[in-house]
Amino acid sequence: MERHMVYSLFERLWHWTQAFLVITLLITGFEIHGMYDNLGYAIATDLHGDLAWALIGLWILAIFWHFTTGEWKHYIPTTKKLLDVMMYYGGGIFEGKDHPYKKDIHAKHNPLQRLAYLGLKLGISPVIWISGLLYMFYNDWQALGLEGMLTLEYVALAHTAAAFAMLVFLIGHVYMAFTCRPVYAHLKAMITGYDDH
């Protein structure tokens, strides 16, 4: 069995920090949205703001990392083998067939992953970023010349919609992490950085 370093230390730190931040932001965010009482509105709100800044900082680091290392190329979408991968999850996986895609350090994401992560990075995340920052700087709209161009309601709705999308992504992502053989292989790779295939 060959051992490849697939996930660098930065990538792993980025992944797990982001996971922690996204989950706590979801928990605090839905409390602010009025779904439940957990930490209390004041704590939830202040924490949500602080965590958001941490996530923004992390994202800036990650963007920098992606472009300086060329890692962004892992997210270029492709249709090659996409159908095979989809067929696999729809059928082959139950029959115990092998995954049609072989990971390597030059292309570590399968076509479905590429699409999903690209959707996260170019779809959900920017909506969360922009709506969240507008939300945060609501009091400065007048100074920024935004008054009259949008309403807090639209910003809040966009932010909520993106939060739901993030939650859906999170559920799918966590499940997909356990669709390998052995089931903990992906998890182990994301912790140690080595892929045992």
Binding site for another protein (CB under 8 A): 32-34, 37, 40-42, 45-46, 49, 89, 93-96, 138-139, 142, 147, 151-153, 156-157, 160-161, 163-165, 167-168, 171-172, 175, 178-179
- Return the number of the residue (107 or 176) whose C-beta is nearest another protein: 176
- Cβ atoms of 182 and 1 closer than 8 Å: no
Minimum Å gap between C-beta 70 and another protein is: 33
Q: Cα separation of 53 and 76, whole Å?
A: 28
Minimum Å gap between C-beta 45 and another protein is: 6
Distance set, CA 84 to CA 101, 111, 180 (Å): 8, 9, 16
Minimum Å gap between C-beta 165 and another protein is: 8
Minimum Å gap between C-beta 68 and another protein is: 33
Tokens of 73: 């190329």
Burial class (CB in 10 A: 0-12, 13-18, 19+), 170: middle
- Return the number of the residue (105 or 168) whose C-beta is nearest another protein: 168
Residue 35: what are its φ and ψ, rounded to 5°? -75, -35
